[in-house]
Amino acid sequence: MDSTERPFMNPFMLPDLEPEPYRPGPEVVAWLPAMDGRVVVEIFRRSNDAYGFRYNAWVAWRDGGGEARKHSWWENHPVTAVFCPEQEIARKIAVEDARNAGVELENTWRSVV
């Protein structure tokens, strides 16, 4: 399954353009892209020093007629929030969540810090 079929990726939001380079936010400590580059799993540090994960997806923003007006990276959180004491635990949960959603991920995490 292509990452564009991820449940949060509404067909109305499917991009027409290839993704711009992904740039992690300041709280992101590691990230892992999907094989097609349109979804990135992020591990981030919460204010209480616990770790969580979320997705960033390349999407199209369309007008009422379905015309793509803009493309951008869109942050999306999993249905259940994760608070992990260790980054490695958050990574394992994130990979399992993505796998369950049918998102094929690359094998190598990128560390930010």
pLDDT in tens, 62-71: 999 988 999 9
Asked if 96 contacts 80 with a C-beta cutoff of 8 angstroms, the reply is: no
pLDDT in tens, 69-111: 999 999 999 888 999 999 999 999 999 999 988 899 999 999 9
In 63-107, where do the E strands start and end? 68-76
Residues 6+ apart with CB under 8 A from 32: 40, 41, 91, 94, 95, 105, 106, 108, 109, 110
